[in-house]
Amino acid sequence: MGAVNPSVLHPARLWLVAAAASSCSLAQPVHRVIGVPETVHRMEDVVALRNGSLALAGTIYDFAADEQRAAIIRTTADGTPIWEKSFGVSGNYDEAFSLRECASLNLVAAIHSGYDNNALCVVSFSSSGSIVWKKRYAGGGTARGSGMEIETVPPGPGAGEFGLIANGSIADGLAAGQLLRFRTSDGATIFNSSYSADPLLASEVFFTDISTLAGGDYFVTGGITFIDPDTLATDTDVLVARIARSGETVWAAAFGIAPENVRVFEYGLGIKVVPSGVAVLARTSDPPDASGPAAALHLLIDPATGQLFSSSVLPGV
């Protein structure tokens, strides 16, 4: 098993600067959500709602129209469709990557819009599928997914329910991580910050998922692409960062299984704060030279410092 070795990365490369319940059995087949001819549905996220139904977020590929539209679908617990909503601008590429249920039982969905220099769009739906509000935020537009969490602040200063979306931003030519905090009742922006590294050392930063520490900071994962100053070759490593509730970076760290001379695209796919630390699931390649098929990489990280507690690789996944 290949060892994760963050020490091969120069510490200066790791600074990020902020700019600005139910269960179901899988023992038998369930209903499929079936589209129309010449279309393909690809789902990216699913949520079990408190009323026992399911909600899915994804993309409809319409080959006849040569476009892709963001799709939100609600089904019964066994997969029978209840309603479907799609969003898109003709001639553009729009994708829904994540959704969550709010205390009001409304849904909020994160949509990457390719229209007008890219943006992150959030749409709030009632349980019947009616639109409550929709907002377009600067940034957004990467195709690697985004993670969302709902944060509830108890009565007192700053009380309320808020959405948090970790995303990749390619607006205005800047490939950066994006963290959006908004009020779930009306979409009002609390902060919308982008995070990048020294452009001489890294060409891209992106986020894919977020986990919260109750009453505390935010933890994100994604990737950071380094540039070799001599050869201009690039190498993408797993990025993990802790971000304060105000939006400032507390710490950031990069991890990779590949040797320095092997160029591999590695990045975090999911993150969760657990009692033993911060758990990250990432994409990598098979050891020992990290040049084989895709593999899964599991990291356990100290939430206080960003130091690595342990790692494991599951080859061929």
Average pLDDT along the chain: 80
For 172, the token pair is 């205005």
Cis peptide bond prior to 303, omega within 30° of 0: no
Tell me how far apart the 2 most distant CA atoms of the chain are, in Å: 58
Of the CA atoms within 13 Å of residue 244, those in its CB half-sphere come to 9
Residue 63 is predicted with a pLDDT of: 72
Q: What is the pLDDT of residues 232-245, one digit of tens each?
A: 777 888 999 999 98
Nearest to 110 by CA among 19, 182, 170: 182
pTM of the predicted protein model: 0.82
Q: CA distances (Å), 168 to each of 13, 202, 240, 284, in order?
A: 19, 15, 14, 19
C-alpha–C-alpha distance, residues 56 and 65, integer Å? 23
C-alpha–C-alpha distance, residues 80 and 30, integer Å? 8
Q: CA distances (Å), 222 to each of 48, 210, 257, 274, 289, in order?
A: 25, 9, 15, 18, 22
Question: Please, which residues have CB within 8 angstroms of residue 317's CB and are 6 or more apart in sequence?
Answer: 294, 295, 296
Could you tell me how far CA 287 lies from the centroid of its own chain? Answer: 26
Per-domain residue ranges of the chain? 1-16+197-317, 24-194
Taking only the tens of pLDDT, the chain with its 317 residues reads 334 433 333 333 344 444 443 344 444 444 444 555 556 778 889 999 999 999 999 888 877 767 788 889 999 998 888 999 887 766 567 888 899 999 999 999 998 877 666 778 899 999 899 999 999 887 765 556 678 999 998 888 888 999 999 988 765 566 888 899 999 999 999 999 888 887 777 888 999 999 998 778 999 999 998 887 788 777 888 999 999 988 889 999 999 876 655 667 789 999 999 999 999 999 886 555 555 667 788 999 999 999 999 988 877 65
Burial class for 263, CB neighbours closer than 10 Å (0-12, 13-18, 19+): middle
C-alpha–C-alpha distance, residues 227 and 238, integer Å? 15
Q: What are phi and psi of 230, to 5 degrees?
A: -90, -45
Compute the residue count for the chain. Answer: 317
Q: What is the pLDDT of residues 54-101, one digit of tens each?
A: 999 988 887 776 778 888 999 999 888 899 988 776 656 788 889 999
For 81, the token pair is 């469709």
